Amino acid sequence: MPFLDRADAGRRLARALAHLLPTDPIVLALPRGGVPVAAEIAKALHAPLDLVIARKIGTPLQPEVAMGAIVDGDDPIVLRNEDIIRSVRVSDADFRVIADAERAEIARRRARYLAGRRRLDVRGRVVILVDDGIATGATVRAALRALRRRHPDRLVLAVPVAPTDVVEQLRRDVDELVCLEGHERFGSVGGFYTDFRPVGDEEVMAALASCPADLDEAGDPALVPGSVVTVARAHAPRG
């Protein structure tokens, strides 16, 4: 069943995450597409919202092919896919040039999206990382590894849809994984949404403005915990 839009996916995920309400969680979004999803979860769970800005490091001739990823933070983490780097014969110098460009874009986005908004301290907290879906998992995996370095008590990954094989791979990187739909055949994330229009900077900033950066600013929780299933539902190949 397709999701109507990212807000619909967020509301459905919030119901599946209701058991975490008593844990006083922090919700972190991967922009831009993950922000509208995460905003619905943050509102429902009475949780503060922040961003984890991760950027794919694409190959020079095919930028959509990830040869690595970089994640923001006080000590940014850079991951390299050595198999891809060797196959396309990218030098260390060329890799650094592209990685530095993505690092600059991360700085631009953080300054634009979060100007004056403090970075949340996740040490010892239950952290829910949210995206609007997963294709290869490279960027999400980089974000998860960066978050581990910040020492959360429990790390949860929540996505509406993902390939079943990627879900199983990512389980090793988290304490809990909530995926509403897992599919063996997976074309693109947008194929599982009725409305998957691009998310712009203004929408990201509006979503952040609607969610507190501090629990003391939040209102009453929008739901109470119930019985949920947190294992990805697998689907047979389509077509």
Cα–Cα dist 144/164, whole Å: 18
Q: Is the pTM of this model over 0.75?
A: yes
What are the residues facing 130 on neighbouring strands?
A: 29, 158
What would the CATH number be for the domain defined by 6-52+122-235? 3.40.50.2020
CB-neighbour burial class of residue 77 (10 A; exposed 0-12, middle 13-18, buried 19+)? middle
Q: Where are the domains of the chain?
A: 6-52+122-235
Cα–Cα dist 200/45, whole Å: 25
Cα–Cα dist 109/201, whole Å: 8
Buried/exposed code over 19-37 (b: 16+ C-beta within 10 A; e: otherwise): ebbebebbbbbbbbbbbbb
Task: Quote the longest CA-to-CA distance of the chain.
Answer: 54
- Kindly give the confidence (pLDDT) of every residue in the chain, 239 residues in length, as a single tens digit, with 9 standing for 90 and above: 689 999 999 999 999 999 999 999 999 999 999 999 999 999 999 999 999 999 989 999 988 788 999 998 777 888 888 999 999 999 999 999 999 999 999 988 888 998 878 889 999 999 999 999 998 888 899 899 999 999 999 999 999 999 999 999 999 999 999 999 999 888 889 999 999 999 999 999 999 999 877 655 444 444 433 333 344 444 434 44
